[in-house]
């Protein structure tokens, strides 16, 4: 499990979250994988690349879980 801190920001875009946590090598790769339906947010498949991920949400991607904290 990965814990990601928003550090005072209200949200992070899903594609950026996958990139900064190291689960994707690049933003372009993250966008393609999101398009392919490989990411879930709070248990639901998410295909919006710029979906705003906020505190308390849980993202799953390729067997990894990311919990977002304030």
Residue-wise pLDDT tens digits, 13-28: 999 999 999 999 998 9
The domain tally of the chain equals 1
pLDDT at 55: 98
Residue 63 φ/ψ, nearest 5 degrees: 80, 0
Predicted pLDDT at 56: 98
Percent of the chain with pLDDT over 70: 100
Q: For the residues 2-21, what does the mean pLDDT come to?
A: 97
Q: What share of the chain is helix, strand, coil (3-state, %, to 5)?
A: 25, 35, 45
Mean pLDDT of 22-38: 95
**How much is the pTM?**
0.94
Q: Which of 2, 15, 27, 6 is nearest to 51 (CA)?
A: 15
Structure tokens at 68: 């977002």
pLDDT band of residue 69 (cuts 50, 70, 90) is very high
Would you say 49 and 34 are in contact if contact means Cβ atoms under 8 Å apart? yes
CATH number at residue 21: 3.10.290.10
What is the span of the domain harbouring residue 32? 2-69
């Amino acid at each position: 499990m990965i814990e990601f801190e928003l550090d005072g920001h209200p949200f992070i875009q899903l594609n950026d979250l996958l990139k900064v946590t190291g689960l994707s090598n690049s933003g372009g790769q993250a966008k393609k994988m999101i398009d392919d339906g490989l990411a879930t947010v709070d248990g639901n498949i998410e295909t919006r690349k710029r979906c705003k991920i906020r505190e308390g949400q849980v993202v799953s991607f390729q067997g990894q879980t990311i919990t977002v904290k304030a």
